[in-house]
């Protein structure tokens, strides 16, 4: 019996590629907006606005701590049915509520007060913290429910992998846009050019909203199924739910590797402008060449990893390990590249490895959630989505602390045309060695504790069929 048939027996429905594509537009929006933040936020406030490295880092740490509080809690709250659940669905209404405010607050981040950062640093600092926390609250309401919908909507492994392929492709386009649009518009030394990038991002995402509407609607059958079961289930308080979740070693292992991967990719992306401006003394437009090579690598890598995945028996655990090893080894090399031609070659190979991880982590994440549901008998996708987003944002704390610390220790000078040799060494370490070490730690934890094999995954899905949830 195929996995997609298993999916239909559990949920009663299957999904067309059109619906998968519509749903995946949300991943495009997520990767686009988050990519813009990763690509230019720290650089914008540190180098262009002139806020001290430690203050920029502290603002991002506060933002991440705020996110740590609201992600799991909002996920927990959104798992509970409310008055509009039966008519409009579990996830769809929350996504509608959060989306437009998310776009507005995103633009505000790049509209800092027109004051001198050296003379009034706390004004800039306060604005950065306020707008980031406001954006995060709105974005959490949208994204928590968006990610929570995937394992509930697509329930068989084959369907999940197929949906994940479309999801990754559109997410990749979001990443590419996030890295192609800024260098096409940004002019070093002109703050308004960064604001224009944010405005263009908001306009594009506004129109994407209408394309994703059919795909992000809850399936009526699964909502009715959920409501009928929810009435008979024991209701756990938030902290008990949190405690129960962290007893699952596969969940801990997945979250550790996922956080390490987010840290690695975000640190490399955030280093592009620093590397271009201070290592090779280039222009922002040079990032365009880097992203084209990255895109080619991912496009070539995705079908290669899909073929490997099929040949090796759809083993999510092994594929996660092998793609992680590739990411680590290639990222290490980045610290030793000091010319554009060399970087283009390495980034192409890096894209192949990144594409493999990107394809497989969603099905792996869904396996973790399935395991929890099979044990507890309760669907808490929103809560687990909150945990995943918490780990993603915890990576921002790590990145902010590392950038601020390394820049302070190596004497990085804000609003400077050139940096000292020591400061340049710090930039190169942040580009390769440091993120590779973090990913290695995450991989070791995953290898040691993640135990959902293909055989165990099959048993879990069979149990879900019997539970009919």
Tell me, what's the pLDDT at 140? 87
CATH superfamily of 17-224+239-467: MFS general substrate transporter like domains (1.20.1250.20)
Confidence of residue 3 (pLDDT cuts 50, 70, 90): very low
Taking residues 329-334, report their average pLDDT. 96
Tell me, what's the pLDDT at 382? 62
Inform me whether the pLDDT recorded for 379 exceeds 70: no
Segment 441-461, tens digit of pLDDT: 999 999 999 888 778 877 877
- The dihedral over CA atoms of 354, 357, 359, 361, expressed in degrees to the nearest 10, equals -140
Tell me, what's the pLDDT at 240? 61
Of 165 and 48, the structure prediction assigns the larger pLDDT to 48
Q: Please provide the average confidence, as pLDDT, over all residues in the chain.
A: 83
Alpha helices by DSSP H, listed for 44-120, are 53-78, 85-88, 92-109
| Distance of alpha carbon 30 from alpha carbon 46, whole angstroms | 24
Under DSSP, is residue 8 helix (H, G, I), strand (E, B) or coil?
helix
Confidence of residue 237 (pLDDT cuts 50, 70, 90): low
> pTM of the entire structure?
0.71
Tell me, what's the pLDDT at 400? 82
Tell me, what's the pLDDT at 241? 60
Q: Cβ distance 172 to 298 under 8 Å?
A: yes
Tell me, what's the pLDDT at 261? 92
Q: Cβ distance 205 to 32 under 8 Å?
A: yes
Strands (E), 405-462: none
Confidence of residue 11 (pLDDT cuts 50, 70, 90): very low
Confidence of residue 336 (pLDDT cuts 50, 70, 90): very high
Of 416 and 200, the structure prediction assigns the larger pLDDT to 200
Q: What share of the chain is helix, strand, coil (3-state, %, to 5)?
A: 80, 0, 20
Query: Own/partner pairs for 205-212, CB < 8 Å, 24+ apart?
Result: 205/29, 205/32, 205/33, 205/103, 206/100, 206/103, 208/25, 208/28, 208/29, 209/29, 209/99, 209/100, 211/22, 211/25, 212/22, 212/23, 212/25, 212/26, 212/29
Confidence of residue 144 (pLDDT cuts 50, 70, 90): confident
Segment 421-431, tens digit of pLDDT: 999 999 999 99
Inform me whether the pLDDT recorded for 12 exceeds 60: no
Segment 72-95, tens digit of pLDDT: 677 667 667 767 677 777 788 888
Inform me whether the pLDDT recorded for 385 exceeds 80: no
Backbone angles phi, psi at 434, to 5 degrees: -65, -50
Tell me, what's the pLDDT at 340? 93
Taking residues 6-28, report their average pLDDT. 73
Confidence of residue 5 (pLDDT cuts 50, 70, 90): very low
Q: Cβ distance 371 to 68 under 8 Å?
A: no
Inform me whether the pLDDT recorded for 10 exceeds 80: no
Nearest to 168 by CA among 301, 279, 282: 301
| Distance of alpha carbon 90 from alpha carbon 148, whole angstroms | 10
Domain residue extents for the chain: 17-224+239-467
Taking residues 378-406, report their average pLDDT. 76
Tell me, what's the pLDDT at 384? 67
Angle in degrees, 0-180, between the axes of helices 316-334 and 249-274, rounded to the nearest 10: 30
């Amino acid at each position: 019996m195929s996995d997609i048939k298993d999916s239909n027996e559990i949920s009663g429905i299957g999904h067309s590629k059109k619906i998968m594509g519509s749903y995946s537009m949300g991943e495009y929006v997520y990767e686009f907006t988050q990519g813009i933040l990763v690509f230019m936020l720290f650089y914008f406030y540190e180098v262009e606005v002139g806020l001290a490295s430690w203050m920029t880092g502290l603002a991002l740490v506060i933002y991440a701590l705020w996110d740590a509080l609201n992600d799991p809690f909002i996920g927990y709250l959104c798992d509970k049915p409310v008055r509009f659940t039966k008519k409009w669905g579990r996830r769809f209404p929350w996504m509608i509520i959060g989306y437009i405010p998310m776009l507005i607050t995103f633009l505000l981040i790049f509209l800092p007060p027109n004051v001198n950062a050296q003379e009034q640093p706390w004004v800039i600092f306060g604005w950065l913290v306020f707008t980031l926390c406001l954006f995060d609250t709105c974005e959490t309401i949208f994204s928590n429910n968006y990610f929570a919908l995937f394992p509930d909507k697509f329930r068989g492994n084959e369907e999940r992998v197929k949906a994940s392929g479309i999801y990754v492709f559109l997410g990749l386009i979001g990443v590419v846009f996030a890295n192609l649009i800024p260098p096409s518009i940004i002019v070093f030394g002109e703050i308004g050019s960064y604001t224009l990038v944010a405005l263009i991002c908001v306009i594009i995402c506004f129109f994407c909203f209408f394309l994703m509407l059919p795909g992000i609607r809850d399936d009526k059958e699964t909502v009715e199924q959920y409501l009928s079961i929810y009435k008979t289930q024991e209701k756990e308080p938030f902290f008990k739910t949190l405690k129960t979740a962290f007893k699952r070693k596969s969940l801990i292992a997945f979250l550790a590797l996922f956080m390490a991967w987010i840290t690695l990719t975000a640190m490399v992306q955030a280093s592009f402008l620093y590397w271009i401006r201070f290592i090779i003394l280039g222009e922002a437009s040079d990032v365009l060449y880097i992203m084209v090579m990255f895109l080619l690598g991912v496009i070539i890598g995705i079908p290669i990893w899909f073929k490997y995945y099929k040949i090796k028996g759809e083993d999510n655990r092994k594929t996660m390990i092998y793609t992680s090893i590739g990411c680590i080894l290639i990222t290490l090399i980045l610290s030793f590249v000091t010319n554009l031609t060399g970087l283009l070659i390495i980034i192409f190979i890096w894209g192949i490895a990144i594409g493999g991880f990107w394809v497989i982590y969603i099905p792996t994440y869904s396996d973790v959630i399935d395991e929890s549901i099979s044990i507890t008998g309760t669907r808490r996708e929103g809560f687990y989505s909150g945990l995943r987003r918490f780990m993603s944002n915890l990576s921002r704390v790590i990145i902010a602390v590392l950038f601020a610390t390394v820049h302070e220790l190596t004497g990085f000078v804000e609003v400077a045309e050139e940096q000292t040799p020591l400061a340049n060494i710090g930039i190169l370490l942040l580009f390769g060695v440091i993120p590779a070490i973090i990913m290695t730690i995450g991989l070791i934890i995953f290898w040691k504790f993640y135990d959902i094999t293909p055989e165990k995954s099959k048993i879990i899905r069979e149990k879900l069929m019997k539970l009919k949830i």
